[in-house]
Amino acid sequence: MSVYTQLTDAQFATFCQRFGVAFARAIPITQGIKNSNWFIQTTEDNDGEHSYVFTLFEERPPSDIEKMAVILNQLVGKLPVAAPMALADSNSSNEKSYVIHYDNKAITLVPCLSGAHPKQTTETMCADMGAALAVLHDTLQALQPSEDYGVALYPWNEVRDREIQFMPSDEAKLMRDIWQSYSDLPLDTLPKGLCHLDMFADNTLWHLDNNSETLSGLLDFTEVSVEHYVMDIAITINDFCTTWGDAEQGESVDFDRRKMAVFLQGYESKRTLSNDEKQALPIMLAKAAVIFWLLRLNVIHYNRTEGRTGDNIMVKNPDLMKRLAAYHWSHVEKA
């Protein structure tokens, strides 16, 4: 992810030592938009290799990251996740600690998972991702009450109210219409639980060898919150089932409804959707796109107000999510 906080090699060495890791080098990770991340090369790694991911959480308080560590340990053995390492200098008489506190921020170190981020998704990958998301939803039901483990949902309505006043009238209307349609859903009838809420393809790793596609890693559990399962499904479908064109392709947004169908088949192979969830999904797809439209506008807002600049800062185009929201809304209107 982007790097906002700069650390010296001496600081990296000190922090890694607390996890029992011999530091050699930190390599910035520039994908993503929320936290500061580095690959950590140890003294035992060969050149070009790295064994760990070092994350400094820019916004989430350390208490939230402690919850995330519990969630990841719950998923170990069920899904390919990397749980935060325990501090080597933890008091043996107390429960394990997984977080270093630095400047009121949290630091974790997790083992690297093998595999690569997919440049494009396939129908097979969509089906496997659907099944994995259902396993995640089912497994995390063991953590009760779920509100004690999930972080609070971000107040996107506040971001909406701030940003909508600067939008052209057609964009503002689109956002209001989708938001109202979501509010009119029978939300109380939709199952809820701990959800990932950011399962984009770049938060997954795959072994892509010999024309085979095997899920090898699920990443970034910082946004796990109590939410409707169908919202988590919509968020994941929106990225896995969309082909995002680059600048040379005019930044096209092409949603594949066949991929969505196989994703849902994969999901229902592990957890059956209720009729209310199926009926809510088209509106949830539009609302999910609106949330990530607002998220990207929010990142631009904070980068501007906090003076965040530099080559390690990546900003994703909010217009792409706006166009995806408009696509889904057109299907809702037709229905």
> What is residue 335's predicted lDDT score, i.e. its pLDDT?
82
Among the ranges given (1-15, 91-105, 321-335), the one the predictor scored with the smallest mean pLDDT: 91-105
Sign of the alpha-carbon dihedral angle for 200, 202, 207, 208:
positive
Averaged pLDDT score across all residues of the chain: 91
> How far apart, in whole angstroms, are the C-alpha atoms of residue 19 and residue 41?
14
> What is residue 32's predicted lDDT score, i.e. its pLDDT?
56
Instruction: Report whether pLDDT(65) > 50.
Output: yes
- Say what percent of the chain tops pLDDT 90: 76
Helices within the chain (DSSP H only):
9-18, 62-75, 123-139, 156-164, 169-183, 229-240, 257-268, 275-305, 318-334
Instruction: Report whether pLDDT(1) > 50.
Output: no
* Contact (CB, 8 A) for 282 and 335: yes
Instruction: Report whether pLDDT(95) > 90.
Output: no
Structure tokens at 158: 């506040």
Q: What is the mean pLDDT of residues 2-6?
A: 75
> Before 318, cis peptide (omega within 30)?
no
Structure tokens at 226: 């109590």
Three-class SS of 211-253: CCCEEEEECCCCCCEEEEHHHHHHHHHHHHCEEECCHHHCCCE
> What is residue 3's predicted lDDT score, i.e. its pLDDT?
65
Give the pLDDT band of residue 89 (cuts 50, 70, 90): confident
Q: What is the mean pLDDT of residues 109-113?
A: 93
> How far apart, in whole angstroms, are the C-alpha atoms of residue 277 and residue 234?
11
Give the pLDDT band of residue 309 (cuts 50, 70, 90): low
Give the pLDDT band of residue 258 (cuts 50, 70, 90): very high
* Contact (CB, 8 A) for 116 and 215: no
User: CA Rg, the chain, in Å?
Assistant: 20
> What is residue 313's predicted lDDT score, i.e. its pLDDT?
58
> How far apart, in whole angstroms, are the C-alpha atoms of residue 122 and residue 249?
20
- Which pLDDT tens digit goes with each residue over 223-241? 899 999 999 999 999 999 9
- Which pLDDT tens digit goes with each residue over 132-181? 999 999 999 999 999 999 999 999 999 999 999 999 999 999 999 999 99
Q: What is the mean pLDDT of residues 103-110?
A: 94
> What is residue 238's predicted lDDT score, i.e. its pLDDT?
98
> What is residue 48's predicted lDDT score, i.e. its pLDDT?
84
> How far apart, in whole angstroms, are the C-alpha atoms of residue 185 and residue 284?
9
Instruction: Report whether pLDDT(80) > 70.
Output: yes
DSSP conformation letters of 190-211: S-EEEE-S---GGGEEEE--TT
